Structure 1
Amino acid sequence: MVLTACAAPADDDTGVRERTVATASTFLDAYVDDGRVVRTDQGGDTVSEGQAYGLLLAVAAGDEERFDRIWSWTTENLQRDDGLLSWQWKDGAVVDDQPASDADLDAARALVLAADAFDRDDLREKGVALGEALLDEMTTTTALGRILLPGPWATSSPHAYNPSYASPAAYRVLGEASGDPRWDELTEGSRAATAALLDANPLPTNWATVADDGTVAIAGSASGEGEPRYGYDAVRTPIRFAESCDPADRALAGRIGPALPADETLPAELDSGGGAVTTDQHAIAYAARAAALAGAGQTDAAASDLGRMSETSSTTPTYYGDAWNALATAMLSDDVLAGCPPLTDATPAAAGSASDAGSASTGAAPGLQDPVSPTSPSTASPVHISIPAIGVDSDLIGLDRGADGWIEAPTDFDAVGWYEKGVLPGAVGPAVIAAHVDSPTGPAVFIDLPKLVSGDTVSIARSDGTTADFVVTGLQTVEKDTFPTASIYAPVPTPELRIVTCAGAWDPATGHYVDNLVVTAVAA
C-alpha cells in the first residue's frame, strides 16, 4: 500500500471562533432533523426552547441554510396567532400551546443576530416583532422594575419567576434593534430581581416568586411546591449574566461562585444550600461554575471548568448538555452572539488551542483541587518522543495545518511530528502527535501504534531539558470523513496527548486510508 498522507484533521480549535463553529455544528448535526430540534433522550419531542437553541447555534455556526430550516419548522408548527411560540410538540401536533418566555427571548435574539450575520432585514423584522409580543404578554412591572414572566399565566402577584430566563445580552440585542425602552427596563428589573434573590439565598433556584411590592422568595417549582433546588434551570443564571456587557451583571454571576462546591467533580444538581442531591454529572453544571468563576475574575479556573464541561458532554451526550456545551462555548468565550464573553483570552489556552498555550497558568479557585498534573508547565518546544512499548525513539518535528484543514503529514515516513499551532506537549489541553503508519516501501514509524495498551508510557523531551511523561488510557478508530473533531480535541483540564496515525482500509481512489487511529494519553 502506498501512503501519500497520514495524519489527522487539524484541531478546529486553533481559535475561539473555530471552536464555536465546531461545537455548534456538532449539536446541529446530532439533534436537528429537517428543521426540528429533537430531544432524542427525552422521548423524541420538540420544545420551543430547543428550536431557539438551534437558531442561536445556527447563527454561531454561520449556517444560514440550517437557520432557515429551523425557523421555517418553528413558524409552521409552533408559532401562535399572537406571534409567540407554543412550548411543546409531540407525535405530529402541539401538545402544550403555552409559550415559554426564555424560548421566545432566545428565538427573537437569534433572528436579530441572523439578520446581521446573513444580511437579511426580513429576519430582523421578525425578531423585533417576536420580542414585542413577548414584552406585551410576558413582562410586568414591580417595585424592582420590569421583570420577565415565565409565561402569560404568571400575571398574578406574587409572580412565578424563573431567574434563568433573564438574559441581559438578549435584552441589549433586541433593544438596539427595536429602540423599545422596555428592554432597558427589563435589564434593570432583572438585575434588581437577581440581586434580591441572591440576597435571600446564596444560590439562585430553579424557581422563585417576585411580588408587586418587590418581595422575592425562593420556590420549589412554578407552583411553589417542592424543595427549592439549584438545578438544570437555575444553572443557566450565571451563564446568562456572565456574558453581559455590564460589569454589574457579571458581578452577580460572580456572587454565585462561593456558594458552589469547590471539588473538581461537580454534581449536576444541588439543594438551595449547595449540598449535592445527585451523583450525576452534567455539562451545564460545569458551564455554570465556569461562568460564576469568570464573573469573579478567576479566568484560569473558569477555563478549566469549560474543559470539564466539554469532556462531560463528550462522554455523556444529551440533548440539553450538548446544547449548553455549544451555547456556553459561544457565550463565554466568543462574541458571535453579541455578548461580551468573559473568557476570550483565557479559554483558548486552557482548551489547548492558542499558539502560546504552554505559558497558560492553570490556576484553581479557592478550594478547587488543582487540576494540573505534577508535570511542570513549560514553554519549551518538544524535541524528542519515546514510546518504549512499541520501540519508538524519535526526534520531533513541527507540523503545520494544511489548506484542507488537516495537519500536514511529515515528508519523512520515519519522522514523528507535533502540531505547532495546538498545545505544547505538557501544557494543559490535548497536544497532538502525528506520524505515518507505512510508506511506499514498507512499515513506517507508527506501524505498531495499534499495539499500545492502557498503561503504556510516552515521554516527551523538551528543549529546556525537562520531560513530560504520559500514560496511555485508550485507543479509538474513527472515520476520516466524519472525524469527531469537537470531542477528540475537546478542552481538558490537564495535560494530555492525542497520538494519531492512519488506520482502516486503504482507498485506492483517494490514495488514503479511510480511518484514523487516535491514542489518548494523560499526564503521568
Structure 2
Amino acid sequence: MRARRFLTAAASGAAIALAVTACSGPVTDGDASDTGATAAADAFLDTYVDGGRVVRTDQGGDTVSEGQAYGLLLAVVADDEARFDEIWDWTTDNLQRDDLLLAWRWENGAVVDDEPASDADLDAARALVLAGDAFGRDDLSADGLALGDALLEEMTATTDLGRILLPGTWATTSPHAYNPSYASPAAYAVLADASGDERWDELAEGSRAATEALLDANALPTNWATVATDGSVAIAGAADGTGEPGFGYDAARAPIRYAESCDAADAELAATMATAFPGDDVLPAELDSGSGAVTTDQHPVAYAARAAAYAAAGRTDDAGADLGRMRDTAARTPTYYGDAWNALAEAMLTDDALAGCPPLGPSSSSATGASSSSSAGAFQDPVPAEAASDAVPVHVSIPAIGLESDLIGLGRGADGWIEAPADYNDVGWYEDGVVPGEVGPAVIAAHVDSPTAPAIFHNLPQLRPGDTVSVSRSDGSVAEFVVTSMQSVKKHGFPTESIYAPVPTPELRLVTCGGPISSETGLYEDNIVVTAIAA
C-alpha cells in the first residue's frame, strides 16, 4: 500500500495547496484544535465562570462588570455559544441597569456599586456584536448595538482633542477623569462597522489624540489622567487626578489594545512605547513615571503589555519571549485578573477571533514576513530561492514539546499529492521546496494521530510564541527558528497564498492535522500551521 497522502495539490498546474489531508485516527488526550488563544480562553472560562458569573476567586468571590465582559470576549474566542449565553444571561439578570449600562460590582447576591464602568460596557458591546456574527444571532447583535449606543450617549464627551471615552457617568465635568487603558480602537471599529454610527469613528480619533498627548507627557501611559474640554491633558495617579502617576495594572492594557488595532496610526502608538520599558528579562508589575520599578511583584499583564509594544515595533522575537514570560507568570501565580489578561493577550496579539489585527497573528507581516504584493487568488508554491549550499536537513529539535527526530524527505506522487511518512512517528520535510535555513518558507510535516495512539506531532498545538525549533543540516550547520504564531485552517479552502507566500528571510511552517473529525471520511477537517522565523 502506498504512503498516506497528507498535502493536497491545487486543482490545476503544478502549484500545491500543502494542506494536511490524511492524519486519521482518534482524538486522544488533547484536541489538536486547541491553539494558544482557544486553549487559554477555555482555561479561563473553566476556572472562573460559575453559572454564568465570572468570579474573582482571589478577591473575595465578588463579580465586576469588567469580568463579565472578559468572559463574553473569551467565549467568542473559544467559539462557545452556550457559555456565552450563560454569561450574558447572568449579566442581564444581575448587572444591567434600566439605561442598559452595566452596574460595576456585585457581591453576596446583590449589586453593591451601581456605577457603570465604560471599559466593561465597551468590551461587552464588542463581544455581543462579534457573537451575533459568529453564532448567527440577531438578538445578540441588537443587544450589543443598544449597549454601545447607551455608552455613546452617557459616557463620552467632546473636547478640543475630539470625542473621548469617560470612565463612568460620574466623570462628565471638565477636567474629565480619563483612563488611557479603557480606549479600545478595535472595539470602536467593530461597533462602527456594525452600527454605521459616526460617533465611533470620532471616539477612535479622539482617543488616539488623547493617547498621543499623554505619551508626549510621559513615555508610558499612566493608570489615570485628566483631559479638559480645551484639550489640555495631565497624567495622574488616581481617578480624582491626584497621586503619583505610574504604569501599573490598569495602564498595562493600553499597549495591548492599541497594538491589536487595524489602524496603523494606533499600532504606531503602541510601538512608541517599546523603548520606554525596562529591557530586563524580569519586568516589575508596576513602574513609576520614569519607568523605574516600584515593586518586585511580577504580573502577566505587564509582560503582555511589553510584548504588545515589541510586537507593534516589529520586535517579534522579544515579543514572543515576553508572551512566554506572561504564561509562566500566570501558571506560577494564578489570579482572576492575571489569567484574564493571559487569555485576552493571546487572543488580541496572536489571533483574529476578536476582529482585530493581531501583530503576532498569521496575517501579520511582522510575524511572518509575508509579501503583501503576491497576486490574489493564485496558489503560491514554497519555491526556494537559489540555495546558499547543498546542505539538506537531517534532524529537527523542538524542546518545548520534547521532540527530537531525524528528518526524511517528502516528495509528490504522480497524482500531485505530497506523500506523508508511512511511519506515524516519522517527521518529513518537503524536499521540492525550501531547505530549512534558506530564504523562504520551508515545510516540515508529520501525523498528529495514528488509528491507535498519538503520533509524533500530537503535541504540536502546545507550542507558543517564543518557543524554539532547531533544524540540523548535513553540512553540520544548525538553522534556528523561533515560533511566532499558530493557526487552525480548513483543509478545503486552505489559505496557501498567505501561508506559503514568498518571504525575504528563512522561515518554517510546521504542519499537522487538527479540528473536528469528519463523520464521512474519518479524517481531520482542519490543519494546524505553526509559523516560525529565523532566530
Task: Name the TM tier (shorter chain).
Answer: 0.5 to 0.7
Once the two structures are superposed, the pairs formed by residues 513-524 of structure 1 within 5 Å of their partners are none
Q: Residue 322 of structure 2 corresponds to which residue in structure 1?
A: 305
Query: Structure 1: how far apart are the matches of 2:168 and 2:108?
Result: 24
Counterpart amino acid of 1:248?
A
1:322 equivalenced with 2:339 (yes/no):
yes
1:126 equivalenced with 2:140 (yes/no):
no
Query: Structure 1: how far apart are the matches of 2:471 and 2:256?
Result: 38
2:250 aligns with one of 227, 233, 245? 233
Q: CA deviation at 1:345?
A: 3.8
Query: Structure 1: how far apart are the matches of 2:251 and 2:152?
Result: 22
2:287 aligns with one of 249, 270, 288? 270
Cα displacement string for residues 365-409 of structure 1 (whole angstroms, at most 9, x for unaligned residues): xxxxxxxxxxxxxx9756499xxxxxxx997889xxxxxxxxxxx
Q: Residue 180 of structure 1 corresponds to which residue in structure 2?
A: 197
Contact 1:384–1:462 (8 Å) recurs in 2? no
Q: Residue 523 of structure 2 corresponds to which residue in structure 1?
A: none
Contact 1:332–1:343 (8 Å) recurs in 2? yes
- Structure possessing the higher relative contact order (Cα contacts under 8 Å, 6 or more residues apart): 2
Q: Relative to 1, partners in 2 of residues 1:133 and 1:207: Cα closer, same or farther, differing over 3 Å?
A: same
1:192 equivalenced with 2:199 (yes/no):
no
Number of equivalent positions: 397
Q: CA deviation at 1:335?
A: 1.4
Q: Residue 62 of structure 2 corresponds to which residue in structure 1?
A: 45
Query: Structure 1: how far apart are the matches of 2:214 and 2:256?
Result: 16
1:244 aligns with one of 244, 261, 264? 261
Which SS does the other structure have where 2:87 is aligned?
helix
Q: CA deviation at 1:100?
A: 0.2
Query: Structure 2: how far apart are the matches of 1:7 and 1:119?
Result: 31
Contact 2:272–2:313 (8 Å) recurs in 1? yes
1:222 equivalenced with 2:278 (yes/no):
no
Query: Structure 1: how far apart are the matches of 2:190 and 2:396?
Result: 51
Q: Residue 337 of structure 1 corresponds to which residue in structure 2?
A: 354
1:152 equivalenced with 2:146 (yes/no):
no
Which SS does the other structure have where 2:125 is aligned?
helix
1:65 aligns with one of 61, 72, 82? 82
Residue ranges of structure 2 left out of the alignment (5+ in a row)? 1-24, 369-390, 398-403, 410-420, 431-435, 438-443, 453-469, 481-535
Q: Relative to 1, partners in 2 of residues 1:223 and 1:334: Cα closer, same or farther, differing over 3 Å?
A: same
Q: Relative to 1, partners in 2 of residues 1:7 and 1:336: Cα closer, same or farther, differing over 3 Å?
A: closer
Q: Relative to 1, partners in 2 of residues 1:463 and 1:274: Cα closer, same or farther, differing over 3 Å?
A: same
Q: Residue 466 of structure 2 corresponds to which residue in structure 1?
A: none
Contact 1:12–1:19 (8 Å) recurs in 2? no
Query: Structure 2: how far apart are the matches of 1:75 and 1:121?
Result: 17
Deviates more, 1:174-183 or 1:78-87: 174-183
Which SS does the other structure have where 1:51 is aligned?
helix
Counterpart amino acid of 2:39?
A
Q: CA deviation at 1:19?
A: 2.2
Query: Structure 1: how far apart are the matches of 2:270 and 2:108?
Result: 39
Q: Residue 82 of structure 1 corresponds to which residue in structure 2?
A: 99
Counterpart amino acid of 1:226?
G
Contact 1:333–1:347 (8 Å) recurs in 2? no
Q: CA deviation at 1:199?
A: 0.6
Instruction: Using structure 1 for the length normalisation, give the TM-score.
Output: 0.68
Q: Residue 386 of structure 2 corresponds to which residue in structure 1?
A: none
Counterpart amino acid of 1:42?
Q
Q: CA deviation at 1:298?
A: 1.9
Q: Relative to 1, partners in 2 of residues 1:6 and 1:250: Cα closer, same or farther, differing over 3 Å?
A: closer
Query: Structure 2: how far apart are the matches of 1:71 and 1:394?
Result: 47
Once the two structures are superposed, the pairs formed by residues 94-493 of structure 1 within 5 Å of their partners are 94-345=111-362, 383=395, 465=476
Q: Relative to 1, partners in 2 of residues 1:158 and 1:206: Cα closer, same or farther, differing over 3 Å?
A: same
Query: Structure 1: how far apart are the matches of 2:107 and 2:446?
Result: 47
Contact 1:230–1:270 (8 Å) recurs in 2? yes
Q: Relative to 1, partners in 2 of residues 1:119 and 1:464: Cα closer, same or farther, differing over 3 Å?
A: farther
Q: Residue 34 of structure 1 corresponds to which residue in structure 2?
A: 51
Q: CA deviation at 1:325?
A: 1.3
Counterpart amino acid of 1:207?
W
Q: Relative to 1, partners in 2 of residues 1:124 and 1:396: Cα closer, same or farther, differing over 3 Å?
A: same
Contact 1:52–1:103 (8 Å) recurs in 2? yes
Q: Relative to 1, partners in 2 of residues 1:463 and 1:279: Cα closer, same or farther, differing over 3 Å?
A: farther
Cα displacement string for residues 1-33 of structure 1 (whole angstroms, at most 9, x for unaligned residues): xxx9998646656xxxx3221111111111111
Cα displacement string for residues 176-226 of structure 1 (whole angstroms, at most 9, x for unaligned residues): 111111111101100000000001111100000001111100001002232
Contact 2:316–2:367 (8 Å) recurs in 1? no
